[in-house]
Amino acid sequence: MSILILAEHDNASIKSATLNTVAAANAIGGDVTVLVAGEGCAAAGEAAAKIAGVSKVLVADNAAYGHQLPENVAPLVAEIAKDYGYVLAAATTTGKNVLPRAAALLDVAQISEITAVESADTFKHPIYAGNIIETVQSSDAIKVITVRTTAFDAVAAEGGSAAVETVGSAHDAGISGFVSEEVAQSDRPELTSASVVISGGRGMQNGENFAMLESIADKLGAAVGASRAAVDAGFVPNDMQVGQTGKIVAPELYIAVGISGAIQHLAGMKDSKVIVAINKDEDAPIFQVADYGLVADLFEAVPELDAAL
């Protein structure tokens, strides 16, 4: 069965989430086609053609797809999907926005955030904030699936040489428009792809104190995250939130500072390889998942850690 993947990209390059999605496609098995829908996205299309294991790239380059508005991209995906057995996208905010819309246009179900492929029609995914893993079997002819990227190791970004084809069809629903975007600028790696993440919680007390974490992040090449408590308290912006309703991360090393370990936070980071917790409350639930726990006042321990690195 052939598999269509909706690429995660910024017109100029392919985002790493696409590489994890290709890995999920390989777990299903079949010819992999990557669809790059955007405006001025030829470079992203060329990058997609180099991904290991991709046999074809479709480039839909049109002003209507410029900001990947779901009203325009979903009909394109649905049109192309009719020739495929599967449609996959990363469970990013873009994938989650577009894919269910395409599934409904195809009159098929979507399986959200798969973490494992059991067979050609059976998949595992977390429900109830990760407290339960459900195995579901699909009876639909076209299986529309979003992929939890942290559950699949990325394939190589180089090594492939797929054919690139242009898709002419332009779907412009004319019912929505892009107004503006505020994207946080940072020299640090992205949260979801960083190999080290250091996160702060309510214990940080204010936003200024996150500078202590940033200093360590710069030494370790880490991304800085936060718990929902720290975001809701206004310490840091929402795009730093790690958790069930924020970003799901699974780095080599996760350092939780002043985070108690609410279930919704644990759901977003418990698949990290090594977890370190620094908290002055020795009964904090975060210690139940931490490989290395340090019961200490973070305002003493964090500067000390910074100095030791």
Partner 1 sequence: MKVLVAVKRVADYNVKVRPKSDGTAPDLNNVKMSINPFCEIAVEEAVRLKEAGTATEVVVVSLGDKACQEQIRTALALGADRGIQVDTDAELQPLAIAKLLKAVVDKEQPDLVIMGKQSIDGDNNQTGQMLAALAGLPQGTFASEVKIEGGKANVTREIDGGLQTVALNLPAIVTTDLRLNEPRYASLPNIMKAKKKPMDVLTADELGVEVAPRLTTVKVEPPAERAAGIKVEDVAALVDKLKNEAKVI
Which of 130, 200, 203, 258 touches partner 1 by CB under 8 A? 130
- Tell me the C-alpha distance between 211 and 102, whole Å: 42
Nearer to partner 1, 195 or 206 (CB): 195
Q: Which is nearer to partner 1, 162 or 227 (CB)?
A: 227
Check binding of 12 to partner 1 (CB under 8 A).
no
- The sheet that has 163-166: what strands, in order across it? 110-114, 143-147, 86-90, 3-6, 32-38, 56-61, 163-166
Q: Cα(98)–Cα(142) distance, rounded to whole angstroms? A: 16
Q: Least Å distance between CB 95 and partner 1?
A: 10
Q: How far is the CB of 103 from partner 1 (least distance, A)?
A: 7
Cα 248 to Cα 241: distance, rounded to the nearest angstrom: 9
Residue 18's nearest CA partner among 140, 157, 226 is 157
CB of 273 to partner 1, least distance (A): 7
Taking every pair of Cα atoms in the chain, the longest distance, rounded to a whole number of angstroms, is 61
Question: Out of 35, 74, 76, 226, which residue is the one contacting partner 1 (CB under 8 A)?
Answer: 74
Segment 235 to 264, residues that bind partner 1, using CB under 8 A: 237-239, 244-245, 247, 252-253, 263
Cβ 33 to partner 1, closest distance in Å? 22
9 lies in the site for partner 1, by CB under 8 A: no
Per DSSP bridges, beta strands 116-119 and 122-127 are: antiparallel
- Per CB under 8 A, the segment of 22-30, 52-60, 80-88, 121-129 that binds partner 1 is 121-129
3-state secondary structure of 54: coil
**Which of 30, 43, 66, 101 touches partner 1 (CB under 8 A)?**
101
Binding status of residue 82 toward partner 1 by CB under 8 A: no
- CA dist 43 and 283 (Å) reads 51
Q: Are 116 and 28 in contact (CB under 8 A)?
A: no
Q: Is 154 in the site for partner 1 (CB under 8 A)?
A: no
Interface segment toward partner 1; rule CB under 8 A; list 24-32, 35-43, 87-95, 156-164: 87-95
SS3 of residue 87 by DSSP: strand
Question: Is 139 near partner 1 (CB under 8 A)?
Answer: yes
- Give the C-alpha separation, 259 to 235, whole Å: 13
Q: 3-class SS at 69?
A: coil
Number of residues that bind partner 1 (CB under 8 A): 89
x-marked contacts with partner 1 along 272-291 as a string, rule CB under 8 A: -xxxx-----x----xxxxx
Q: Which two tokens stand for residue 177?
A: 């428009």
**Residue list 178-237, contact with partner 1 (CB under 8 A):** 178-184, 192, 196, 220, 228, 231-232, 237
Q: Which is nearer to partner 1, 160 or 243 (CB)?
A: 243
> Contact, 81 vs 106, CB < 8 A?
yes
Give the shortest CB-11-to-partner 1 separation in angstroms: 14
User: According to the binding rule CB under 8 A, does residue 270 interact with partner 1?
Assistant: yes
Asked if 153 touches partner 1 (CB under 8 A), the answer is: no
Residue matched to tokens 């006042």: 297
